[in-house]
Amino acid sequence: MSNVDEAAFEQFICDWLVGSGGYNAVKVGNPRDPQPDFDVVRALDTAELFNFIGATQSLEWDKLVMLYGGDVTKAQKGFADRLAKELEVRGTVDVLRHGMVDLGQTIKLAFFRPASGLSPELIERYGKNRLTVTRQLPYEAGSTKTLDLCLFVNGVPVATAELKNHLTGQTVAQAVEQYRTDRDPKNTLLKRAVVHFAVDTEQAAMTTRLAGKATRFLPFNRGHDLGAGNPPNPDGHRTAYLWERVWQRDAWLDLLNRFVHVEPTPKGSKKQAQLTIFPRFHQWDAVLAMTAAARSNGAGDDYLVQHSAGSGKSNTIAWLAHRLSSLHNDADEKVFDKVVVITDRRVLDKQLQDTVHQFEHVHGVVQRIDEDSTQLAEALTGQQARIIITTLQKFPYVTEKIDSLPDRTYAVIVDEAHSSQTGESATKLKEVLGSADGAAAPDELTDPAEDALAAAVAARGKQPNLSFFAFTATPKARTLELFGRLDRGTGRHVPFHLYSMRQAIEEGFILDVLASYVTYKTYWNIENTTPDDPDFDPGKARAAIAKFVALHEHTLAQKTEVIVEHFRENVAHRIGGMAKAMVVTSSREHAARYVLALRKYVNDKGYTDVGVLVAFSGTLDLDGGTETESSMNGFPDSQTPAEFDGGEWQILVVAEKYQTGFDQPKLYAMYVDKPLNGLAAVQTLSRLNRTYDRDGIRKDGTFVLDFRNDADDIRAAFEPWYGETVAPPTDPNLLYDTRHALDEFGVLWPEEIERTVDLLLAKGATVTQRVHAALAPAIDRFLYDLEEDEQERFRDDLGRFVRTYAFLSQVVAFTDIKLERDYLYCKALAAFVKADGSMAVHPDVELTHLKLEQTFEGSVTLDGTVGEVLSIFGGTGKMHEPEPEPLSNIIAMLNERFGTSWDPKDRVFYDTVAEKLIERSDIQQQASANSPENFGLILAKEFQSGVLDQLGTSEDMALAYIDNTELQGEVLKAYLPFIQGKAKVAHQEHCDVTELLGPDRESSHLEYKATLRTHQDSGETFKPLESASLKTIAAFMNGREGGTLLIGVSDDGTIHGLDSDYANRSKQDQDPRDWFQQHLSNIISTSMGDAAVTNVRAQMHHVDGHDICRVQVDPSGFPVDATVIKQKPGGPKEKVTEFYVRGLNGTKALDVVEKQKYIAQRWPGTPEAS
């Protein structure tokens, strides 16, 4: 026998299992043995079976023998027959876990390690389990076929393995083929085994169900260099982890007991067999690593898990939650009293319930909080529920429901962690569950305000009784800082456990959505038809003109032809003729017009094989009528996913819907007509990555046709999350730096800060009035002592301090009460010094030329190593808005940049100069740190140097630029916004709702409201709060530009959601979205009249697991008065009718004289103006 053949490989593994792995015996199958240990008919090793029962349950066995008439042989035969039948009906896993009953006598088939060591008898019985491995097992009656390895637990077969060796020319691929073609799926042992492994010396794969040629094996590898495969093993085989770690006695029994999960056959299904879920290596490894760390370190540490889409995150969370709920340390003390799962996915609730019940057969262990904060409070204070599933938004309301929780420890599992976990809701969670004591020592004099500040400081940092286990495929920098661990070697925050997008793609669990990518560019020419050539902000004019072009019928006609013909020719036949496509658009109107254009094209061509659906939220005013998703599709929007899954519909056009969390494996192609960047690009395009492999039909790839984005931009968007994502730590001194930056303005006075914060933390009917009075001096100093540019700088520095403290106070252990006091004061002051915005524009232009050209085709390759993301960017913050310039100049610049009227070589010459500048890191830094005016000074010199560098390319172009200062000015004016925008990676023509979110985004035409009619902190309904939204809407109508109100968004631009508004709706049986929009329409009508309502459109969005409402307000053709409810602290409610406009600090009411002046300017010639 050779030392390198398969027999030697078998022998090596078996020797290790018995010598080091805790197995009791190695056996060699012998088909000529007249009395073999293995009963091929019953598929049991009866010798090991009865040895185990005799060693662990002798009394029970003696009773059973007596029930069989005292005949041991008869009892063994009868019991073996009964066991074989139970295994056939219930399955191996259930029988091993819960035993069986024979003639009324219960016999256990295995004893698993108890969670604690407080039961010596169970520990002793656990040690008597008999684990054996049989080589070359004859498993089929009347046949000489053998299995290379079969693993048994107490005589019950639990796993098989076929081994191959590269040195003999055989690999895991041959082992897989052997299972598919030479192993009968109906064989008793092969059906009964929990898992089958195909193994060579380099890689491993596994399956839980043999189905002939349709058998699907999954990789069972550790991963190597952030991709597939296994790392080199200096001590031997790359696959040694399989027998050394997975098959090792304790690990293997634990895996069978607490990981393997059986999904039952669906009710009513006769064909579909039970599906056994066996953990993939990264799932098993992650759960064990986290529980081992928690057992060793106890509560108080945090863990970030970066697991790609396709990683099986739901199962990983379920296994982790169950193990954490019963985790004990070495002193047999429970590590966590309760496990809280933060998620918005209802499917996770059922999965947890089913999984835990299989392990324990106990109901009530898992409780979903699907009612209100009272239910959450009861679950937290009660004893029965060990695993609680809820949303983060319920915690702010729990503080009012409970006085204090028992002294407990909590494991908080965050499903899809993101930066909103760093906000005030996360702080509320820590306040509810945390045990950090911020109160004064017993011998100190107590100050209520000081105690409240200390408690707030303590709640913001890490809590000694809380551990967070955060899961995400795409961690942001703040998520890494909050939950990740600091790698001392690199000085960067890294995930605790990683299963990369690259590995998921290479192992075939998701598809590479960038493998087949085509970009198109729209070249267009426009003319100004406005005779008086008004001044407009160039950025807003650019976006408005681009929107005009995108919605133009000629543009849509060209694109719909490309989409339909490409789909029919290249996509429709994929996935057995079931392939689907998604068209991603930039707005609801864009989506609606796309659907109309697509359907028209299909009908004109007489095609019957392309059905088109649309998906968008809310109601849309279109061409004098009203449209909804339901009206355009012909069925309720709740049915859209199911309808799209059928054979009647092939293309789904979406606008901010189904771009995240939409799981449709038949989706093969995506046609993108919307700017995408950063995480939004990854999430949107990843809708394509789901695999499809059923009944012999497989999804063999994906396709993207992109009308709006460059391949390089998409590559840059994916790169940070393709391999491992890391983040450098934020310098804690940045917090003190941002605070000190406020001192130079002279607005903040220490004595006022202390007095105001004492009031903010106090209770009583007159507190609000006194807080406003205490803030008034600082507001006046801001308004009257600072110049306009100083106000802008102060406002920017104030917002930066508030945001930086809210984040850093959770990742750095600050104990500075003064900083918390300053934070509370500055947060309150910020509400009174909001910035005013500048003009918007609705251009009066005409499309004159249009051309669509392909610009890239191929695979967008990614590096797949380490991508870095940043938490807090340096610089001086946002800059003031650009000066308006004539519309004709903007149109000329756009024609030069995009149109076909320029000689192509002219444009290429300047484009080359621009692109080279953009690639320079110093230009990128200068563009980010400077205003357009200052950057223009830098660019003039650098651009001229770039032109001189291109002298050899076009001497005439270079000399013309150098000699003509007027030409220089025109070229720089054209390229300045392009270069600065590209260098800052900040330019977008259209913003979807997520791009409207964030700090410093509010302006004269964009406003945030956390709720419509409920208190942000308590969730209680307070009718006068509606007035705040009504005032803003009325002011937008009275303005020249209109505006956007986002309800459900906090002042700092983070998502608050509409949960509290929904919870207090009058009709609980009504769909909350429908109710919200109807209620909003009703209060606007009541306040401003039915005519005013026609200027308002409401659209619902689902962002980061929460609903927000985007209220789009058009400028009114007439003055709009609003009737609102006012209530002074402690006083009665009163109705007042006032005229509101947008001013420097937000919305304000004008008195009669000022109103008349405003109307005369805004609506000249109207009766109201006179």
pLDDT tens sequence across 399-412: 455 456 667 888 98
Span 7-56, pLDDT tens digits: 999 999 999 999 999 999 999 987 666 668 999 999 999 999 999 999 99
- What's the rounded Cα separation, in Å, for the pair 300 and 296? 11
Per the CB < 8 A criterion, the answer to whether 484 and 496 are in contact is yes
Minimal CA–CA distance to 631: which of 608, 614, 649? 614
Answer yes or no: same fold for 281-499 and 517-722: yes
The better pLDDT of the pair 750, 963 is held by: 750
Indicate the helix (H) or strand (E) that contains 1152.
helix 1152-1162
Name which of 297-306, 545-554, 1058-1067 the model is least confident about. 545-554
**In this prediction, what percent of the chain has a pLDDT beyond 70?**
75
Averaged pLDDT for residues 1115-1124: 90
Query: What's the pLDDT score for residue 876?
Result: 42
Regarding beta strands 195-199 and 204-207, do their DSSP bridges make them parallel or antiparallel, or are they unpaired? antiparallel
Query: What's the pLDDT score for residue 445?
Result: 35
Query: What's the pLDDT score for residue 981?
Result: 55
Residue 398 has pLDDT above 90, yes or no: no
The mean of the pLDDT values for the chain is 80
Span 487-526, pLDDT tens digits: 888 888 899 999 999 899 889 888 988 888 888 765 555 5
Q: ∠664-668-670 over CA atoms, to 5°? A: 100
> What is the dotted CATH code of the domain comprising 993-1169?
3.30.950
Query: What's the pLDDT score for residue 807?
Result: 67
Residues in the chain: 1170
Query: What's the pLDDT score for residue 78?
Result: 97
How many beta carbons lie within 10 A of that of residue 532, not counting itself? Answer: 6
Averaged pLDDT for residues 874-889: 40
Name which of 70-74, 1030-1034, 1122-1126, 1140-1144 the model is least confident about. 1140-1144
Regarding beta strands 517-528 and 703-706, do their DSSP bridges make them parallel or antiparallel, or are they unpaired? parallel
The better pLDDT of the pair 456, 417 is held by: 417
Name which of 210-214, 823-827, 1144-1148 the model is least confident about. 1144-1148
Query: Which tokens belong to 882?
Result: 């650009």
Beta strands in 529-647 (DSSP E): 535-536, 580-585, 612-615, 619-622, 625-628
Query: What's the pLDDT score for residue 435?
Result: 58
User: Mapped to the 3 state alphabet, what secondary structure does 256-269 carry?
Assistant: HHHCCEEECCCCCC
Query: What's the pLDDT score for residue 819?
Result: 81
Query: What's the pLDDT score for residue 266?
Result: 57
Residue 130: partners with Cβ closer than 8 Å, 6 or more residues away? 24, 25, 48, 51, 52, 55, 152, 153, 154, 155
Burial letters 230-246, b for 16+ CB under 10 A, else e: beeeeeebbbbbbbbbb
Give me the residues paired with residue 471 across strands: 305, 415
Chain Cα centroid distance, residue 896: 40
CATH superfamily, region 281-499: P-loop containing nucleotide triphosphate hydrolases (3.40.50.300)
Span 840-866, pLDDT tens digits: 344 455 555 555 566 666 666 666 666
Minimal CA–CA distance to 389: which of 422, 406, 413, 421? 413
Query: What's the pLDDT score for residue 879?
Result: 39
- What's the rounded Cα separation, in Å, for the pair 893 and 889? 6
Q: Which CATH architecture has domain 517-722?
A: 3-Layer(aba) Sandwich (3.40)
Span 97-108, pLDDT tens digits: 999 999 999 999
Query: What's the pLDDT score for residue 656?
Result: 79
Minimal CA–CA distance to 873: which of 679, 977, 998, 730? 730
Query: What's the pLDDT score for residue 646?
Result: 93
DSSP state of 739: H
Query: What's the pLDDT score for residue 1021?
Result: 79
Residue 433: partners with Cβ closer than 8 Å, 6 or more residues away? 340, 380, 405, 408, 410, 412, 463, 465, 466
Span 588-597, pLDDT tens digits: 889 999 999 9
| Distance (Å) of CA 811 to CA 45, 572, 724 | 56, 50, 21
Query: What's the pLDDT score for residue 332?
Result: 87
- What's the rounded Cα separation, in Å, for the pair 1019 and 1013? 9
- Would you place residue 907 in the very low, low, confident or very high pLDDT band (cuts 50, 70, 90)? low
Residue 73: partners with Cβ closer than 8 Å, 6 or more residues away? none
- 625-639, 784-798, 915-929: which has the highest mean pLDDT? 625-639
Averaged pLDDT for residues 195-203: 96
Span 1043-1069, pLDDT tens digits: 889 999 988 888 889 988 888 776 777
Query: What's the pLDDT score for residue 366?
Result: 79
Residue 1141: partners with Cβ closer than 8 Å, 6 or more residues away? 1035, 1038, 1039, 1147, 1148, 1150, 1158
Gyration radius of the chain's alpha carbons:
34
Query: What's the pLDDT score for residue 954?
Result: 59
Backbone angles phi, psi at 1110, to 5 degrees: -95, 120
How many beta carbons lie within 10 A of that of residue 112, not counting itself? Answer: 18
Indicate the helix (H) or strand (E) that contains 643.
helix 640-645
- What's the rounded Cα separation, in Å, for the pair 684 and 586? 12
Query: What's the pLDDT score for residue 752?
Result: 92
- What's the rounded Cα separation, in Å, for the pair 353 and 1005? 47
Query: What's the pLDDT score for residue 551?
Result: 57
Query: Which tokens belong to 444?
Result: 């100190």
- What's the rounded Cα separation, in Å, for the pair 190 and 143? 15
Averaged pLDDT for residues 651-678: 86
Per the CB < 8 A criterion, the answer to whether 748 and 778 are in contact is yes
Name which of 264-273, 892-901, 1034-1043, 1060-1069 the model is least confident about. 892-901
Query: What's the pLDDT score for residue 100?
Result: 96
Residue 447 has pLDDT above 50, yes or no: no
Residue 214: partners with Cβ closer than 8 Å, 6 or more residues away? 695, 696
Residue 1133 has pLDDT above 90, yes or no: no
Minimal CA–CA distance to 155: which of 11, 263, 55, 33? 55
Per the CB < 8 A criterion, the answer to whether 42 and 143 are in contact is no
Span 946-987, pLDDT tens digits: 877 776 665 656 665 676 676 677 778 777 776 775 665 333
User: Mapped to the 3 state alphabet, what secondary structure does 792-848 carry?
Assistant: HHHHHHHHHHHHHHHHHHHHCCCCCHHHHHHHHHHHHHHCCCCCCCCCCCCCCEEEE
Residue 322 has pLDDT above 70, yes or no: yes
- Would you place residue 677 in the very low, low, confident or very high pLDDT band (cuts 50, 70, 90)? confident
- Would you place residue 198 in the very low, low, confident or very high pLDDT band (cuts 50, 70, 90)? very high
Query: What's the pLDDT score for residue 762?
Result: 79
| Distance (Å) of CA 1129 to CA 115, 761, 775, 828 | 56, 16, 16, 17
Residue 1145 has pLDDT above 70, yes or no: no
Query: What's the pLDDT score for residue 947?
Result: 78
- Domain residue ranges of the chain, discontinuous segments joined by +: 6-260, 281-499, 517-722, 733-830, 871-984, 993-1169
